Structure 1
Amino acid sequence: MISPGCHRLIVDLGMNNGDDTAYYLRQGFRVVAVDANPALVETAQTRFAREIAEGRLVVLNRALSAEAGAVTFYVNTDNDHWSSIDVGWAGREGSHCQAISIATVSLRDIFANYGVPYYLKIDIEGADHIALAQLGQELVLPTYVSVEDCRFGFEYISVLETAGYKSFKLSDQSIVQSLRDETTQGTFPQGASGPYADALPGRWRASNDFVEHYACTVRDRAGQRLAPRSRWWDIHAALADCHSS
């Protein structure tokens, strides 16, 4: 079910440096940007001071959880992209982390306070499954959603399908810098998530077709990675039967 008021809102769950948020704002959307890293939130509050003052952007310094409270968040001081509530994820490859306490917020509370978004971007390093589990409990869903692929990709596809999503695409994140931002006709900066919804290259696939495509492109059903490490992916899903249109 699509929320009637959701079409001019995007939730950027895992804002990081704010480049994705900037893209959504340029497109004329209201944005709720969520990040657990206080330093990144502080930088965003300066970068987007005008948009915040205009009421077009809300920046939340929160970690996602099913319950209100606080969690330990591990800030990776070598690579902030790897910061996570999962210490193993945050400290991979022997990188250095700093443990801090961060207040939490649930997806349901975000939707209740700000509206169900047109598009939900999920990129919260090692905690994406928490967002997907909560999404599966919602009666009103974003029209489009994306999640960063990992070794649980097959599970993510299944959860999204069970939640009600009918059409799927893969986004090759290694080529995002070569794509065009239709809003400005510019290119995307390194690390940006890039286009979404119908602006995303490629065709929408039904879930069964998409699983076969994924199993031939990213990793096989035994979990063995097929794509080289230089390529990484996001999984996009749509509520509509885009593949049959």
Structure 2
Amino acid sequence: MLTPKKNVTGPIYDLGMNNGDDTDYYLKRGFEVVAVEANPALCQMARERFAEAIAAGRVSIIEAAIGDHEGDVTFHVNLDNHHWSSMDINWAGRDDSVCQAIKVQSVTLASLYARHGVPYFMKIDVEGADMMVLEQVAAHSVLPDFISIEDCRFGFDYARILSQVGYEAFQLVDQSEIAGMTDPVCGHVFPKGSSGLFGPDLRGGWEPYPEFIETYATTVRTREGVRLAPRTRWWDIHAARHAQNKETTP
């Protein structure tokens, strides 16, 4: 286990923990992790996988969907591909895949902040509820230092909201290239489906909002919504509260 940098405060929020591979990486980097996942089977696997870290107080597994209110909600577990499970049946049931509707608890970002504090880094990958989470981030007076959100057709809106609330630097990360990459700090090799590096460790160049929008509009989809890249490539949008060094990390 490594110790986070001295100027780092707050845990990491893994919103959409799924199989726990990202949480595993964050632990190796020495962070405390608040992992939110609505799929009960994946939560049980995570409680077994991270039993030692949970006992040490380094991981909190929140078995709930992230939503805009507290209480029961319907969650659709995709039985063919658990990565697609969602509160939105149209999202969960894409490609005519088989889903099972279950009742789960919903938790808001405000309640997570009250219990665990504002995170240093927040990963948002919650299959169709990402905008809902981002709107809650924007409504709070204190922001995570770094944030990432899975890109979709609302990518322009995500970046605009992040810019409006005060994020100054942006980076587009091609998720199709993550599998097999190594974090040189801890030697972790990212398995398929991982979110990869984050924050100041990202290897690409950070851009201010106007330049990032131009990059996005010429890489992912046009301002008119026409997708430019093949479906074999997909992205996360990363944002930093403060301007970052533009030089590529070695």
Matches of 1:186 and 1:114, distance apart in 2 = 26
RMSD of Structure 2 on Structure 1 (CA): 1.6
CA contact (8 A) 2:180 2:191 kept: no
The answer to whether the 8 A contact 1:172-1:234 is kept is: yes
Residue 186 to residue 28, structure 1, CA distance change in 2 (3 Å):
closer
The one-letter code matched in structure 2 to 1:138 is: H
Q: Who is 1:113 aligned against?
A: 115
Aligned to 1:201: 203
2 CA distance for matches of 1:173 and 1:146? 12
| Contact 1:145–1:236 (CA under 8 A) maintained in structure 2 | yes
Q: 1:70 aligns with which of 69, 72, 85?
A: 72
- The answer to whether the Cα contact below 8 Å between 1:6 and 1:117 also exists between their aligned partners in 2 is no
| Number of positions where the alignment pairs a residue of Structure 1 with one of Structure 2 | 242
Q: CA deviation at 1:21?
A: 0.0
Give 3-state SS (helix, strand or coil) of 1:103's partner. Answer: strand
Task: Say if 2:71 is the partner of 1:31.
Answer: no
Q: CA deviation at 1:55?
A: 0.4
| Alpha carbons 1:205, 1:243 under 8 Å: kept | no
- The match for 1:123 among 108, 122, 125 is 125
Deviation at 1:76, TM superposition (A): 0.2
Query: Residue 174 of structure 2 corresponds to which residue in structure 1?
Result: 172
Which stretch has the larger CA shift, 25-34 or 155-164? 155-164
Q: Please report how far the alpha carbon of residue 156 of structure 1 lies from its aligned counterpart in structure 2 after TM superposition.
A: 0.6
For the Cα contact (< 8 Å) 2:10–2:117, is it kept in 1?
A: no
- Cα deviation 1:132-185 (Å, max 9, x = unaligned): 010010101100000000011001111111121111000100000242123332
Given that 2:221 and 2:229 are in contact with CA atoms closer than 8 Å, whether structure 1 keeps it comes out as yes
Q: TM-score, normalised by structure 1?
A: 0.95
Deviating above 6 A after TM superposition, structure 1's stretches of 4 or more consecutive aligned residues are none
Structure-to-structure mapping, 1:143-182, within 5 angstroms: 143-182=145-184
- Aligned residue number for residue 242 of structure 2: 240
Deviation at 1:8, TM superposition (A): 4.5
| 2:25 and 2:188 in contact (8 A); partners too | no
Structure 2 gaps, min length 5 = 1-6
Verify the 8 A CA contact 1:68 1:103 in the aligned structure 2. yes
Identity of aligned pairs, percent?
Answer: 51
Whether contact under 8 Å (2:67, 2:132) holds in the other structure is: yes
Corresponding residue of 1:211: 213
Describe the shift of the 1:25–1:244 C-alpha distance in structure 2 as closer, same or farther (beyond 3 A). Answer: closer
